[in-house]
Amino acid sequence: MLGLATLSCAEPVVGTPTTSPLPTNESGHTRIEWEPCTEIPSSVITQQQLDSRPPERKSLGSTGVMVIRCNYRARTGYYISAYASNYTLEMDKKDDTHWDYRDLEINGRKALSYYVSSRPKTDGCAIDVAATTGLYGVLLSEGINDFAPYPDCLAAARANIEALLPYFPY
């Protein structure tokens, strides 16, 4: 024998990843604790030119489906919300008030784009990215000057989510 210690099943093996259950709310849904107004650096908001007014925090729901968002206004006039939700991409696809769903991959993460305006209007759109707690995303709506400097809503959403994605948890 080479003098190796035996391990019991009760002892954790060093270097073995462990997982903890995700925190849940009163309904058993994953609790959202990420705060977009504080966890996205102000330097990134300035870089994206989303700083024409102070950010505004909004939250919806606390016992079931939750959404925590931060509303911004671009210097060129369009509105954008960065948000976290315990909703899922699969639940998104079942929402018949949205249209033109497109599966995407953004920086290796599963994502979904869609329009939130009544068909055929394209003045509101969103891109959501999958996460272990649900999803993170951006929601845009038209202001003055359309979505300048971008050609349309989805181009503006894509540019913004790519800039914000490093700050969205997995």
Q: pLDDT per residue over 1-24, tens digit each?
A: 334 333 334 444 444 444 455 666
CB-based contact 63:25 (threshold 8 Å):
yes
The reported pLDDT for the residue numbered 143 is 80
The reported pLDDT for the residue numbered 12 is 43
| Domain regions of the chain by residue span | 36-167
Residues 6+ apart with CB under 8 A from 37: 55, 56, 57, 70
Q: How far apart are CA 162 and CA 170, in angstroms?
A: 14
Q: Does residue 81 carry a pLDDT above 50?
A: yes
pLDDT category of residue 28 using cuts at 50, 70 and 90: low
| Percent over 90 (pLDDT), the chain | 65
**DSSP reduced 3-state for 111:** strand
DSSP string, 36-92: HHHHS-HHHHHHTT-BSS--EEEEE-SSSS-EEEEEEE-TTS-EEEEEEES--HHHH
The reported pLDDT for the residue numbered 61 is 72
Q: How far apart are CA 131 and CA 82, in angstroms?
A: 14
The reported pLDDT for the residue numbered 99 is 94
Amino acid identity at 90 = E
Q: pLDDT per residue over 52-72, tens digit each?
A: 999 999 988 767 788 999 999
Q: How far apart are CA 133 and CA 76, in angstroms?
A: 33
Q: pLDDT per residue over 106-132, tens digit each?
A: 999 999 999 998 888 899 999 999 999
Q: How far apart are CA 81 and CA 46, in angstroms?
A: 15
